[in-house]
């Protein structure tokens, strides 16, 4: 089974080569058929040049660097890459090395199961090793509850924001046309569509590397943006549902 990993990349001059070496090395060692698709979310620093130089020098065959001039947000970058992915398994992973590689190992093993359509790693899985501050734990739980309240979150999901998610090709290709979020609420958008389809999800453990950087997706501006997107999706779905009911009643 070919695995396509999309790597949304925003201002990652410092870490991007570490992430490339690590993913390329891991998937090669595992004898996987794979492709890595870096999506440079805005040509605002030299991440693109750094990547291209390294790929040329080392003659790497299975890496593609895509991108565009303006910064558009993580959701846009993820959607851009997944639309162009060709694997049987398609997913995304953050461009820095915060997520320990064995998180990917567990996720790949799970997504290869016949009956599983999506794998969503979780900080609060029993086998995860993430040390969460009380504030992060409360925020993370609040986000899950918010998604449950306003959107159609698959019942298994216990964590929204993990920067690694894997899907079977058929599932993700069928929902890509209806995804609309450009920023960090892309996870909510995807999970909502999976929930509507009642597709089978497995939750796997999530491991963090030591010395990780602080997350920019948990600043207050990003959080307000995320909340706005969740409410917008919820409203859209409710309007759509109401219209359908009206149409049904009128046609009777």
Q: Which chain residues interact with ligand GTP by CB under 6 A?
A: 8-10, 12, 41, 71, 73-74, 77, 94-96, 98, 163, 213-217
Q: C-alpha dihedral over 99, 104, 105, 110, to 10 degrees?
A: 130
Q: What is the longest distance spanned by two Cα atoms in the chain?
A: 67
Nearer to ligand GTP, 48 or 152 (CB): 48
> Judged by CB under 5 A, does residue 96 bind Mg ion?
yes
Residue with CB nearest ligand GTP? 217
CA 227 centroid distance within chain: 17
Q: How far is the CB of 179 from Mg ion (least distance, A)?
A: 21
Residue 85 C-beta: closest distance to ligand GTP, Å: 16
The nearest distance, CB 18 to ligand GTP, in angstroms, is 13
Pick from Mg ion, ligand GTP, none: which does 32 bind, CB < 5 to 8 A by kind? none
Shorter beta-carbon distance to Mg ion: residue 32 or 217: 217
CA–CA separation, 64 vs 78, rounded Å?
14
Total residues at interface with Mg ion (CB under 5 A): 2
Phi/psi region, residue 15 (left: phi>0; alpha: psi -120 to 50; beta: rest), is alpha
Residue 41 touches which member of ligand GTP, Mg ion, none, C-beta under 5-8 Å by kind: ligand GTP
Separation between Cα atoms, residue 234 and residue 214, nearest integer Å: 29
Bridge partners (DSSP) of residue 92 are 6, 165
DSSP characters for 189-236? HHHHHHHHHT--EE--B--BPTTPPPPGGGSHHHHHHHHHHHHHHHHH
Nearer to ligand GTP, 75 or 87 (CB): 75
Span interacting with Mg ion, options 42-50, 88-96, 187-195, 242-250, rule CB under 5 A: 88-96
Query: Which positions touch Mg ion (CB under 5 A)?
Result: 94, 96
């Amino acid at each position: 089974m070919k695995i396509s990993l999309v790597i949304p990349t925003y201002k990652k001059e410092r870490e991007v080569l570490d992430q490339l070496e690590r993913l390329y090395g891991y998937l090669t060692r595992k004898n996987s058929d794979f492709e890595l698709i870096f999506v440079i979310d805005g040509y605002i620093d030299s991440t693109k040049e750094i990547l291209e130089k390294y790929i040329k020098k080392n003659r790497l065959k299975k890496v593609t660097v895509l991108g565009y001039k303006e910064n558009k947000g993580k959701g846009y970058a993820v959607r851009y890459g997944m639309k162009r992915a060709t694997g049987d398994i398609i997913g995304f992973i953050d461009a820095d090395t915060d997520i320990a590689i064995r998180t990917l190992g567990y996720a790949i093993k799970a997504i290869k199961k016949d009956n599983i359509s999506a794998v969503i790693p979780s900080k609060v899985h029993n086998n995860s090793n993430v040390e969460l501050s009380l504030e992060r734990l409360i925020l993370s739980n609040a986000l899950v509850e918010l998604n449950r309240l306003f959107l159609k979150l698959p019942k298994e999901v216990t964590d929204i924001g993990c920067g690694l998610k894997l899907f079977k090709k058929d599932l993700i290709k069928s929902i890509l046309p209806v995804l609309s979020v450009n920023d960090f609420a892309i996870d909510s958008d995807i999970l909502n569509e999976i929930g509507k389809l009642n597709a089978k999800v497995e939750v796997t453990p999530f491991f963090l590397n030591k010395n990780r950087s602080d997350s920019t997706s948990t600043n207050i501006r990003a959080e307000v943006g995320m909340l706005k997107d969740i409410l917008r999706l919820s409203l859209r779905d409710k309007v759509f549902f109401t219209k359908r009911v009206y149409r049904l009643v009128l046609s009777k």
